[in-house]
Amino acid sequence: MAQFTSPDTSSFERVAYLVGTPIAHSKSPSLHRAIYTAAGKNWAQLLCETNDLEGFLNYLRRDPKSMGSGVTMPFKVAVIPHLDELTDEGRAIGAVNTIFFKPGPNGSRNFCGTNTDCLGIRDAFQTNVKGAPYRGKPGLIIGGGGTCRAAVYTLQHFMGCSPIYIINRDEREVEDVLQECRNRGAAADLVHVKTVAQARSLPAPGAAVSAVPDFPPVTEKEKVVREILKVFLNSEEKDTEISRLTLEACWQVIGGIEAMIGQGLAQASLWTGIKIDDKLRNSSREAVERQMRPLL
């Protein structure tokens, strides 16, 4: 295993990090740079691509410039035993995407882990959807990984959706999510939808969260999941991307950028105490869109 190598922080007064691998493609540093620039601060988020989680955490605790860190794959669950405490969100979701500091004994800094992905999903809906037309209706999650866990928490606790359908090509991933929710008494309204016939027997969802890449299905299991999705969206279009399916079925589509911005702003607030307002949200969105434009 490669040893962790500390990044160069000399250009900035304070820094946050993002630890994981692979992360070279991440737009998170651009988002955070926009937030801190708008706040008039020479602060930044730096990428720490490494397999050495323990080495990174030792550095993080000692670094005097550090405000905290984002956590991404493959460490969202693996980091939990290394933390001093968890927020309610981190404990309930069972995955952590943010480490922030709390005062410890004798001036030490304790690691507190939380999950702001759920706040990003919540804010994406609240910022872009008038009222709450999804409240009291079923929710739908496409996918079974770490984002699925955050989406379950969001739909249950913030959006008032029930029951919650989960569809995914890997049934074992869904079973892992269901078992974790059973362990904390939060699985009563979760439904693993496995077949098209089952989907046709269920009421339509009022909100859907996609936690998978937006690409046409290839394997047989992916095609079954896509057929189930088309039943829920009431679309006859064949073998196409999730975003196009939702548009053609007359659903309002909220891009993943919105959730990314929401979770990043929540991180920045935890790390720095910056007050989040519409001006900061808009400048953050513009910065991320500028970086993505050459890719579109």
Residues recognised as catalytic: 76
State the Cα–Cα distance between residues 100 and 172, nearest whole angstrom. Answer: 32
Residue among 160, 164, 161 nearest 189 (CA): 164
Task: Return the structure tokens found at 230.
Answer: 């088309």
Q: How many C-beta atoms surround the C-beta of residue 93 within 10 A?
A: 29
Rounded-to-5 percentages of helix, strand, coil across the chain: 45, 15, 40
Is 90 within 8 Å of 62 (Cβ atoms)?
Answer: no
Q: What is the DSSP string of 50-61?
A: -S-HHHHHHHHH
Question: Residue 119 — left, alpha, or beta (φ > 0 → left; ψ -120 to 50 → alpha)?
Answer: alpha
State the Cα–Cα distance between residues 256 and 210, nearest whole angstrom. Answer: 9
Task: Return the structure tokens found at 116.
Answer: 């702001």
